Amino acid sequence: MQKRKCVSVVQLRKLLTAAICSIAFMALVSVHVQHVIPSSNDHKFNDKITTTRDLQSWTRELAPPHLSKVLFPPPKSNVSRGVSRGVSDYEKLWKPPSNRGFLPCTKPTPNYSAPAESRGYLLVHTNGGLNQMRAGICDMVAVARIINATLVVPELDKRSFWQDTSNFSDVFDEEHFVHSLANDVKIIKMLPQELVNTTRIVKHFISWSGMDYYENEIATLWEEYQVIRAAKSDSRLANNNLPADIQKLRCRACYEALRFSPRIEQMGKLLVERMRSFGPYIALHLRYEKDMLAFSGCTHDLSQDEAEELRIIRENTSYWKIKEINPIEQRLKGFCPLTPKEVGIFLTALGYPSKTPVYIASGEIYGGESHMAELHSRYPLLMSKEKLASIEELEPFSNHASQMAALDYIVSIESDVFIPSYYGNMARAVEGHRRFLGRGRSILPDRKALVRLFDKLAQGTMTEGKSLSNKIIDLHRRRLGSPRKRKGPISGTKGMDRFRSEEAFYSNPLPDCLCRAEPPHPNTTSHIVR
């Protein structure tokens, strides 16, 4: 009897031990699974986001020391937010506009031939910031083709506001540029030694010129000169009414040949990966730097001392022709960039929650934190290249405005949503490139309409909430970057103003470089892989 009782106790102990082990094992598995599987709600918005690392592992593996000290909360469980809520957020905030069947089409027409025998050499001095130079370089590739010139790799602007000493190969992949356009234009890195001291003509090509100007006026200069130097490169070629093969060449130059240098590409991709680790993100081109505000004469929400400082900069910058500017009129006409505070109101009205990651693509913000405080209070996850990368990682690019701008360009192109606070050269370039690639939303704020709403808020005649949100959403339903034909000149404009009023070629390369895909046969299934 005693023996039976002992056996029963032993068996009971074994049973209890097994049960406890089973419970412990299930708890361990549950915690582990919850830790390594990110919330589907955090990553469903964009199929580009493929990482399965949690945010803590991202800080350990990718982030620089100063950023890895920040503790990021683990991804939230899908249970807390229903699938239907996630789908509606995706539709409302992140879903890319339809490409309406348009795909890149940059191949030459059947009549396109190899470059004709060169009649001379075209030297190009580019001007402006990174994106102004990009557009100018691509136009000069087309001009070289038109006038049968050998193009010497363009010289970047070193004398503008930014005083950047970068050479072409510091910013762009020079070898790829030369070789990828070999069937279009002969390109060499330097002028032949025997021609370095030869007499050359320096020409300011007329802005927005067409084929007749280059074929009949510029090409005739080869009769007297072996070298033509283009003093400027910006907006020297018409947006419209050019042969199809010239337009397609501009797109091949811009979107295929003119890629950034390997080290810029590598750093840019690293920044993108770090941003994506937060989930879908907005790239905000916050054009609120000192040069922009001084040039535009916009002083809304600035102190008198700040406004006076900007006026003096504008007065002392010789190549800025307009000196007297009425800042109130500028703003009411929609010619001023949105302030950081206004951007915060705009994003909130569109429905983006405060946890939305926002990448600030810009140079140094004028006034620093004093002007960023309200935007930061609404969106604490404000990131930038300086926050995502260590000082050591950015050191090769620092003090080179064009190279730093190139990093912003890459992160902006790859973003889920791109929003510029001002429609300048970068905004146009990024919008056009994203439209060409069919990449995400590009929301272009209607500044003229927005400032009237913002003024009502300031005057107390309107409050933030559903009414303001509905107005702002309605204003921007057709401003999401979907494919559409490039706009021509504004009716009634004449002369240079007529060309100036046209939509820029590189902000919208349709119809020249985007074509509708042929619909599949009713009985077949077609898959287009890009």
Question: What does the DSSP assignment read for 39-105?
Answer: -HHHHTT-TT------HHHHHHHTS-HHHHTSPPPPPPPTTSS-HHHHHHHIIIIIPPPP-TTEEE-
Higher pLDDT, 48 or 115: 115
The pLDDT of residue 25 is above 90: no
Helices (H), 362-516: 369-378, 385-388, 391-394, 401-413, 425-437, 447-459, 466-475, 495-500
Contacts of 9 (CB under 8 A, 6+ apart): none
What does the pLDDT read at residue 253? 98
Place 16 in a pLDDT band, splitting at 50, 70 and 90. low
DSSP annotation string for 199-229: --EEE-PPTTB-HHHIIIIIGGGGGT-SEEE
Report the chain's mean pLDDT, rounded to a whole number.
Answer: 86
Contacts of 244 (CB under 8 A, 6+ apart): 109, 512
Share of the chain above pLDDT 70, in %: 81
Place 196 in a pLDDT band, splitting at 50, 70 and 90. very high
What does the pLDDT read at residue 524? 44
List pLDDT tens digits, range 284-343: 999 999 999 999 999 999 999 999 999 999 999 888 889 999 999 999 999 999 999 999
What does the pLDDT read at residue 44? 32
What does the pLDDT read at residue 78? 42
Decide: 483 and 514 in contact? Cβ < 8 Å.
Answer: yes
Higher pLDDT, 246 or 60: 246
Which pTM value belongs to this model? Answer: 0.82
Give strand pairing partners of 254: none
Place 123 in a pLDDT band, splitting at 50, 70 and 90. very high
List pLDDT tens digits, range 209-222: 999 999 999 999 99
